A and B are shown apart, each in its own frame.
Chain A
Amino acid sequence: MKSHSTWGVSKNPVKFRMPTAENLVPIRLDIEIDGQRFRDAFTWNPSDPDSEVVVFAKRTVRDLKLPPAFVTQIAQSIQSQLGDFRSYEGQDMYTGEKIIPIKVDLRVNHTLIKDQFLWDLNNFESDPEEFARTFCKDLGIDDPEVGPAIAFAIREQLYEIAIQNVSSARESRISKKGRRGFEHSLPSKAGGTGLDLMKLYGFRSSVIRKRKEWDVYEPIVDKLSKEEVGILEAKEERNA
């Protein structure tokens, strides 16, 4: 066995991190002060010094000409989300052999994107940003905001599952105390959302999808008119 594989080995736990090539944390901001609302989503490198957070908040407020009250709010929000992430760091993450379906259902400005694909949690070479770039290029999306939004959506889902895996690792550790011996099957059972790999990759099945399933996994991109965007936004407002 190679010791330095970029692939997570299912039997050995990995220290918690984003299951991607770059360990970037998805951060989502949604702050409302005095009727003014600021929403944003981006990724943050958790190894950056925390002083950067305040600098970033200040610059954002200045660039967007927001009231100064936003600075602390933004900084706090980022800090707390980073804190969440760091609380998992150092813990073992049992991913098992897990390939999860990722669903993207987004609206960025005038573009509506629906997509579904599989993602291997053990592939620490994966790169959502690279994928998003290819996606936009292949489908001819010009809006520069779409790519980052797709990458962010993927990261958010990966992050969520990574957290689940830590807690499932915790559970398995507890249950391990009760028994003797270690059961490899435990972490993969605990995962829940993973696909049945034997079914997908068994000797009998082919990795070529059945034709009728192609539509399900096909990316769908819609260009919306201004009126449609307006209607959608109003709907979202109401739901919120």
Chain B
Amino acid sequence: MENSQDPNFKELYTIPSHSSWFSWDDIHQVEQNSLKEFFDASSITRTPKIYKEYRDFIICKYREDPSRRLTFSEVRKSLVGDLSLIHKVFLFLESWNLINFNAPKRDDDDDYVGGEDRWNVRVEEGAPYGVKVVANPNSLKPVLPPPVAVNGTGNGVLASPLASFKDRYAELAKVKKLVCGNCKGSCDSGCYEYIKDRSFVICLECFKSENFGENKAAGDFEFNNCSRSNGNMGSAWSEAETLLLLESVLKYGDDWEVVAQHVQTKSKLDCISKLIQLPFGELMFGAGNGKPRLWDASDSISSIKQVKLDSSEVSDASNDLKNENEQNGNVEDVTPPQKRIRTGRVPDASNSLMKQVSRLSMMVGPHITSSASEAAVAALCYENLCPREIFEVNDDGSHKLGSSENEIQRASPVKDSDMEERHATDIPDASSMNIIPAALRMRAATATALGAAAAHAKLLADQEDRVIEYQVAKIIEMQAKKLQRKMRCIEDLELIMKKEDVQMKELVESLLSKRMNVLKMIFSAGISRWGDRATVTAHAPSVP
């Protein structure tokens, strides 16, 4: 128990997100409810303190080697107390996966109904993706599993620490089909989108027959040509095409109409997205075009965050951008969806960031960096659920806009301002959805950098601690030595004193004996004592 609370001793362990209540220093309500007998003060053999000792010991024991399965028989020999009670605690901890989480399944496990089923359930719960760092329980919210998780990568291995949004959700984006909210038919040719809730869509037929659904009027819908959006999006690029694209980009800058014409086989959108996907695409943007439009480098990041929906400011910010809201002809009075200009980050900002990350990860150990990036990605996945929704909806709605003015960015009415600000850099670009992975990657990198920096700081602090401890120990040692020396001095002094004492005594004795000798000699010489002599001399005159 002592060890586990020693800050120098902290290691990272994963526990499932549904056990996130666990804390070394506290007993949670869940524990109190499940193991009431410890908390009803019915006996001195069952107190919260004893429970905590049991719990901490069992968990520590498991963590000595998390890869093996801890058995009850192993634990109980070291715990004093009622066997059944300890067993209950053990089962409780096991059921919450606080122990034996990473351990291999026992194959002869007939206590748990349907071993294989249980395993699957665990995957659905999202445990692997919801793993969290115990040392800092409040930093992450439980994370919902991204859809990729379901098809069985299973055991909690993240695809790659910095997997981009695109990598993760590409399948989803492709698979997504629009289904009419009224007739449930698929809207292949085109559809009308309900602007208040972008997930609601009706097909052309339903719109024409004014079959809008409850509480919705014609004015709330906006035309959306899905056939284009689902068209040749996913088609692969050949090498020749890519070369052609690069060539034409170098030649024409970001005049995408011309570029697309040059590439011929691909649409303008495809060209843009491909270029961004290319590893050096962002560089091309920065260097290749003389007249930056999409990437307005003059705008600082902070100003991006504060971009308001104020249209005057919007038009002011960049003259090239036209805030044009193309509406379907027969819905004139529609309130235009809120729009705003979005300026991407300066591309080299990400480069320096990457450098920062790599520098930071050089400083700390690789495992710390990897766990930091893992945590970062997990947090991003959680956060980006909202942007993803926006993304999915806008994906359809925007291509129409994109066809005329692809620079226009549309932010959907994000719920609260805080969110808006946080996602300001993330809100998907309507036309080029590949900015999302870029932005995401950037955020992931930022988060990783922060995490790594925090870990490094922690390490430094720990080191400092150790140094201080060491110094204090040293000081104490020195003091002890000093005291010892003093003691020795005092002892020496004492010895000397004793010696002197003895000498003194000897001296006294010898003096005495000398005196005796003198006296004896006097007596033997017949000389009277001083007193006698005095009387003699006193009497002398009387004697004639």
Residue-wise interface mask of B (44-88) relative to A, using a CB-CB cutoff of 8 A (1 in contact, 0 not): 110100100110010000000000000111101111111111011
Contact with A along B27-59 (1 / 0, CB 8 A): 000000000010010111101001001100100
In the complex, whether A217 has a CB less than 8 A from a CB of chain B is yes
How many residues of A sit at the interface, in one of the four size bands?
35 or more
Binary contact readout A184-213 vs B (1 if CB under 8 angstroms, 0 otherwise): 000000000000011011000011110100
- Interface set, chain B 77-106, CB cutoff 8 A to A: 77-85, 87-88, 106
Contact B106 A9 (CB under 8 A): no
User: Are A131 and B81 interface neighbours, CB within 8 A?
Assistant: no
Report the minimal beta-carbon distance from B532 to chain A, rounded to whole angstroms: 83
Choose among A5, A133, A139 the residue that contacts B42 (Cβ–Cβ < 8 A): A5
Find out whether the CB atom of B53 lies under 8 angstroms from the CB atom of A126.
Answer: no
Kindly state whether residue B416 has any CB partner on chain A within 8 Å: no
Q: Is the CB of B85 within 8 A of A123?
A: yes
B contact residues, range = 20 to 34
Q: Which residues of B are found within 8 Å of A120, using beta-carbon distances?
A: 45, 81-85
Smallest CB separation, B217 vs chain A (Å): 61
B117 in the interface (beta carbon within 8 A): no
- Chain B: CB-nearest residue to A209: B78
Residue of A5, A197, A207 touching B54 (CB-CB under 8 A): A207
What is the number of contacts between chain A and chain B, taking CB atoms within 8 Å?
Answer: 97
Asked whether, in the complex, the Cβ of B76 is within 8 Å of the Cβ of A117, the reply is: yes
A135 at the interface (CB under 8 A from B): yes
Contact indicator B53/A118 (Cβ below 8 Å): no
Shortest CB-to-CB span from B174 to chain A, Å, is 48
Asked whether A2 lies within 8 Å of B82 as measured between CB atoms, the reply is no
Would you give the 0/1 interface string for A125-159, flagging 1 where the beta carbon is closer than 8 Å to chain B?
A: 11100110111011100000000000000000000
Q: Which of B44, B57, B71, B79 is close to A138, meaning CB atoms less than 8 Å apart?
A: B71
A209 touches B43 (CB 8 A): no
Q: Is the CB of A122 within 8 A of B43?
A: yes
Question: Given A5-B42, A118-B82, A120-B84, A209–B72 Cβ distance below 8 Å?
Answer: no
> Is there contact, CB below 8 Å, between A2 and B79?
no
Query: In the bound complex, how far is the Cα of B46 from the Cα of A9, in angstroms?
Result: 12
Q: Does B1 contact A (CB under 8 A)?
A: yes
A125/B72 in contact, CB under 8 A? no
Judge whether B108 is part of the interface by a CB distance below 8 angstroms.
yes
Chain B residues with CB below 8 A from A209, complex form: 77-80
Residue numbers in B under 8 Å from A218 (CB-CB): 77
Interchain nearest-CB distance for A235 vs B (Å): 28
Which B residues are in CB contact (< 8 Å) with A118?
80-83
B43 touches A10 (CB 8 A): yes
Expressed in whole angstroms, the Cα–Cα distance for A26 and B73 within the complex equals 24
Residues of B within 8 A of A139 (CB): 71, 73
B44 A201 Cβ-Cβ under 8 A: yes
Q: Is the CB of A99 within 8 A of B53?
A: no
- The residue that A207 contacts in the complex, of B50, B77, B106, with Cβ under 8 A, is B50
The minimal Cβ–Cβ distance linking B399 to chain A, given in whole angstroms, is 60
Separation of A211 and B78 alpha carbons in the complex (Å) = 7
Contact: B82 with A207, CB < 8 Å?
no
A85 within 8 Å of B (CB atoms)? no
Query: Roughly how many angstroms separate A218 CA and B78 CA in the complex, as a whole number?
Result: 8
In this complex, what residue of B is CB-closest to A195?
Answer: B80
B44 touches A208 (CB 8 A): no
Q: Is A119 a contact of B45 with CB atoms below 8 Å?
A: no
A7 within 8 Å of B (CB atoms): yes
- The answer to whether B53 and A119 touch across the interface, beta carbons within 8 angstroms, is no
- Binary CB contact string for chain A from 76 to 114 against chain B (1 if under 8 A, 0 otherwise): 000000000000000000000101001000000000000
Known contacts A99-B45, A201-B44; decide if A138 and B83 are in contact (CB<8 Å): no
Q: Across the interface, do B83 and A119 meet the contact criterion of CB distance under 8 Å? A: yes
Is there an interface contact between A207 and B44, defined as CB atoms closer than 8 Å? no
Partner of A126, one of B47, B50, B82: B82
Give Cα distance in the complex from A207 to B89, angstroms.
14
What are the residues of chain A within 8 A of B1 when measuring CB–CB? 208
Hey, which chain A residues are within 8 Å of B72, CB to CB? 134, 138
List the 10 closest A-B pairs by CB distance, nearest first: A120-B82, A126-B84, A138-B71, A138-B73, A217-B77, A218-B77, A207-B80, A117-B83, A207-B53, A209-B78
Interface on B for A, CB 8 Å cutoff?
1, 37, 40, 42-45, 47, 50, 53-54, 57, 71-74, 76-85, 87-88, 106, 108, 111
Chain A residues at the B interface, C-beta cutoff of 8 Å: 2, 5, 7, 9-10, 97, 99, 102, 117-120, 122-123, 125-127, 130-131, 133-135, 137-139, 197-198, 200-201, 206-209, 211, 214-215, 217-219
A138-B72, A197-B44 provided; 4 other pairs, C-beta below 8 A?
Answer: A99-B82, A118-B81, A120-B84, A138-B74
29 pairs, CB–CB < 8 Å, chain A vs chain B: A5-B42, A7-B43, A97-B43, A99-B82, A117-B76, A118-B83, A119-B82, A119-B83, A120-B81, A120-B84, A120-B85, A123-B82, A125-B84, A126-B84, A127-B84, A130-B87, A131-B84, A133-B111, A135-B73, A138-B72, A197-B44, A200-B45, A206-B53, A207-B54, A208-B78, A208-B79, A209-B77, A209-B79, A217-B77
